[in-house]
Structure 1
């Protein structure tokens, strides 16, 4: 049981729900709770878990639907986003099955484009600071002997609009006179979406055989607010204000641990994440870039004592910028409007987690 317990902890540390937008489809970083819950669950009552997650990606490939517009790279007109994120997650076990979690996100973003700067020169806009924090709780459905082969947890949480959803930067070659102007940055690099959201999530892992485990996790974030009042600087009237969209993600795969190298684990799985065209609750007006990304996700982790490091590199195999509500509204029988979005090829995600037992080693108790 002790060996299986350790393997489950390693697997959940590795396969926490790391959700992030891989480009102009602005999926907010770590919108679900599986990322943090996975690094603070299966704790004994009264134990803590603290983790730091860093991620980076570069989006530059433009898609309209699932078709890549390769001419954007050939012409040098592509939009390039560089996005860095750091999340500090703190979780606590109220009991063997009930846990709580707080997630504090920090971001630094750069967006390079031609079309936002008079279409004659490439310039870069920036955003940095605190993002939308999340607080939640989860509950493991099984306990004791019933959880010997694995377990599933369900969770609920709230995302607060603590991130700046009207961040500004300097734009160049604006207007007829080509002046510099401070305006709100693109939706894809805003630090928040301006909505208070309800997050529903699940996660679980089951022993298939020997040292092989099936893992799965997912979430749906319900954002009832329709728009946030932030101007998009776009020409169409129905796209003048930013939308506050729902978000979703689902992941599954197989994790393997190595008995001869204690603490080492590798995995391979798949994931789907995205923004729906229409929200589950509330209106869907305003500008958004809906779409989804399907990725193959290899990963590796290593546990040493109560500290675990992991590296995941999701690699996109399908990118689809779906037709938005405003695209549909702006379409006519003679002309179909379908906006595009830039996506990344892959994402780098690295984390360190420290499980704090109720009884610390003697070195911490020394006078």
Structure 2
């Protein structure tokens, strides 16, 4: 993952006064951060057993996902901050023509390639540190809570090539832009300073009240 941070804090002004915090964002200031992640997936599993024959047969399904994340944070005081985060995704899913030949017995079928591009689900959260920074003992823990809003489309469709010509289909859920429902996010992060190193841990849990999100099932076009 690659990321960058831009803050409205003035470094010269911050040096001129005693530090209340050791973070890159001072209180009552905004910060914009960006991140980028790339995913390439092609391995198939049944339970914990990898289906290595799929790659040998060239029948594996391949996903490429490029995810850009833009976050805007406002630091209320040294302990509390508010963050809004919006992902922007480009996803591609490819069904190799060998899959149609081996499993569906459809010879001379073209590769079926589907795409999904756009914004994902907007997340808004609040975070607070248990101890007011800076802490002299060199460790602290933060908790966050917020909501995930269904701003990303969960029923993206694309046109794929088939033996019968172009067909309009729903893309697979793995590259859909949104989850199709509201969510409640809970998170935590903690650190412990050592002599010349810092141990850091973080975790996030997403709860979705609805049992089904209404995202259509994707299927291979014949």
Q: Which TM bucket (shorter chain)?
A: 0.7 to 0.9
CA distance in structure 2 between the partners assigned to 1:85 and 1:203 by the alignment = 22
Q: Structure 1 residues 182, 234: CA separation in 2 closer, same or farther (over 3 Å shift)? A: closer
> Considering only CA atoms, is the larger Rg found in Structure 1 or Structure 2?
2
Contact conserved, 2:185 with 2:204, CA < 8 A, in 1?
A: yes
Superposition pairs of residues 88-107 of structure 1, within 5 angstroms: 88-107=70-89
Structure 2 counterpart of 1:220: 205
Structure 1 counterpart of 2:171: 185
Superposition pairs of residues 249-264 of structure 1, within 5 angstroms: none
CA distance in structure 2 between the partners assigned to 1:55 and 1:107 by the alignment = 10
Structure 1 counterpart of 2:119: 130
TM-score (ref. length: structure 2): 0.79
Contact conserved, 1:184 with 1:230, CA < 8 A, in 2?
A: no
Q: Structure 1 residues 90, 116: CA separation in 2 closer, same or farther (over 3 Å shift)? A: farther
Contact conserved, 1:81 with 1:110, CA < 8 A, in 2?
A: yes
Structure 1 counterpart of 2:162: 173
CA distance in structure 2 between the partners assigned to 1:199 and 1:188 by the alignment = 20
1:231 positional shift: 2.0
Contact conserved, 2:111 with 2:161, CA < 8 A, in 1?
A: no
Unaligned runs of 5+ in 2: 5-22
CA distance in structure 1 between the partners assigned to 2:112 and 2:156 by the alignment = 17
Higher relative contact order, structure no. (Cα contacts within 8 Å, ≥ 6 residues apart)? 1
Superposition pairs of residues 280-319 of structure 1, within 5 angstroms: none
SS in structure 2 at match of 1:61: coil
Structure 2 counterpart of 1:80: 62
Which structure 1 residue ranges, 4+ long, deviate > 3 Å from structure 2?
114-120, 144-148
Deviations 1:182-206 (A, max 9, x none): 1110000000011110000000111
1:159 positional shift: 0.5
Structure 2 counterpart of 1:151: 140
CA distance in structure 2 between the partners assigned to 1:63 and 1:233 by the alignment = 19
1:234 positional shift: 4.8
Structure 2 counterpart of 1:139: 128
Q: Structure 1 residues 98, 77: CA separation in 2 closer, same or farther (over 3 Å shift)? A: same
1:76 positional shift: 0.4
Deviations 1:298-323 (A, max 9, x none): xxxxxxxxxxxxxxxxxxxxxxxxxx
1:147 positional shift: 5.0
Contact conserved, 1:98 with 1:139, CA < 8 A, in 2?
A: yes
Structure 1 counterpart of 2:188: 202
Superposition pairs of residues 269-284 of structure 1, within 5 angstroms: none
CA distance in structure 1 between the partners assigned to 2:159 and 2:132 by the alignment = 55
Structure 2 counterpart of 1:230: 215
CA distance in structure 1 between the partners assigned to 2:188 and 2:90 by the alignment = 29
Contact conserved, 1:169 with 1:182, CA < 8 A, in 2?
A: yes
RMSD (CA atoms) = 2.3
TM-score (ref. length: structure 1): 0.49
Structure 2 counterpart of 1:109: 91
SS in structure 2 at match of 1:173: coil
Task: Please state if 1:57 is matched with 2:43.
Answer: no
